[in-house]
Amino acid sequence: MATTKTMTCADLGGPCDLAHTGETHDEVIVAQDKHLKEVVKAGDTAHVPARNDMKGRWRHPKKSLGWYNDVKKRFAELPAD
């Protein structure tokens, strides 16, 4: 059986407590990216800085490796849901 873990939007640098659950840190990061796209498109200005940061990470993955490795480490340390 797969193990899932949860991180919030705030855990990933956003402004809210929406929970993202996944089997890997990558699944959680992709869910955060989707969340940011959706809420900013809907007019949520509080999420704009986090959305801009995420867009920058996708465009410059080598530069963003520190953030990625931090999320990966924190995800690994989380207890399973």
Output b/e per residue, 15-37; b: 16+ Cβ within 10 A. eeeeebebeebeebbebbbebbe
Report pLDDT for 52. 96
Question: In the predicted model, what is the mean pLDDT of the chain?
Answer: 95
Report pLDDT for 62. 86
Q: What is the pTM of this model?
A: 0.92
pLDDT, average across residues 31-36: 97
pLDDT, average across residues 58-69: 90
Q: With cut-offs at 50, 70 and 90, classify the pLDDT of residue 58.
A: confident
